Structure 1
Amino acid sequence: MKKGAYLMEKTNVLEECMNAYKYAVEVVQKNSPLSRDLTQSCAEVCRSCANECLKLGGSRSGRTYKMCLDYAELCEELEQDIQEDPGRLRKLV
């Protein structure tokens, strides 16, 4: 794969993580009853994207791989915050 195409693929994968997280935050802010399910799905999407980075030839020490995992962790943090205090996030964001 040419370097330009490789970079574009990595960019697309990372954008997918960002969009998943952004949507999860929006749903949580609206206090949706689907918030928990969506934050779990967000984490799954981001972990899947991290695995896609590896398939593209990246390594576990690569920045894009790590950033996808960071987004997964952010989604998991959203889920934990919902469980601890469902109204807290709405107040903070």
Structure 2
Amino acid sequence: MGVQRIRSKQEGFQLAHEQHQELLTALHECMEACNHCFDACLKEENVKMMAECIRLDRECADICGFLEAAISRNSPFISQLAQVCAEVCEACGEECRRHDHEHCKKCAEACMKCAEACRNVA
């Protein structure tokens, strides 16, 4: 049982996850930003006001982690998952932009960067 490889015209053979290295980096950074934002939002004075941000932080971190794992195992559904991930990242980023907290601003930036990277693969 060998490691599955993809043939690229410019680079010869490469491991499947190497083809998506930029996306993997964006996914991991987004997941970390969302987890940090989630935790920080729970500590805000008006947690109820942050409920949608908290919910979307969890959704986004989860889909980013799932897509990261799917890429590492060369799932045949990478393109479809990337499309869903882009939508979730964008929704989370838009929600985070509504708040003035520094953790929300950083999360919004990571989400939008990740959404773009996902769209490039989808």
The verdict on a shared fold, with TM-score over 0.5 as the criterion, is yes
Please report the TM-score for the alignment, with normalisation by the length of structure 1.
0.59
Q: Give ranges in structure 1 of 5+ residues lacking alignment.
A: 84-93
Among 14, 19, 31, the alignment partner of 2:62 is 19
Higher relative contact order (CA closer than 8 Å, sequence separation 6+):
1
CA deviations on 1:59-80 (whole Å, 9 max, x unpaired) are 5x85325414413423544675
Q: SS of 1:33's equivalent?
A: coil
Looking at structure 2, the residues matched to 69 and 32 of structure 1 have their Cα atoms a distance apart, in angstroms, of 27
Looking at structure 1, the residues matched to 63 and 105 of structure 2 have their Cα atoms a distance apart, in angstroms, of 16
Quick one: which amino acid aligns to residue 14 of structure 1? Answer: D
User: Is 2:99 the partner of 1:58?
Assistant: yes
The runs of at least 4 aligned residues of structure 1 exceeding 3 Å deviation read 74-80
Looking at structure 1, the residues matched to 109 and 83 of structure 2 have their Cα atoms a distance apart, in angstroms, of 13
Matches within 5 A, 1:42-81: 42-54=85-97, 57-59=98-100, 63-74=103-114, 76-77=116-117
Q: Is the 8 A contact 1:13 1:49 kept in 2?
A: yes
Please report the TM-score for the alignment, with normalisation by the length of structure 2.
0.48
**More helix by percentage:** 1
Q: Is the 8 A contact 2:52 2:95 kept in 1?
A: no
Aligned length: 78
Question: For the pair shown, which has the larger CA radius of gyration, 1 or 2?
Answer: 2
Q: Give ranges in structure 2 of 5+ residues lacking alignment.
A: 1-44
**Could you say what the CA RMSD is over the residues aligned between the two structures, in angstroms?**
3.0
Provide the identity percentage. 23
Q: Is the 8 A contact 1:42 1:72 kept in 2?
A: no
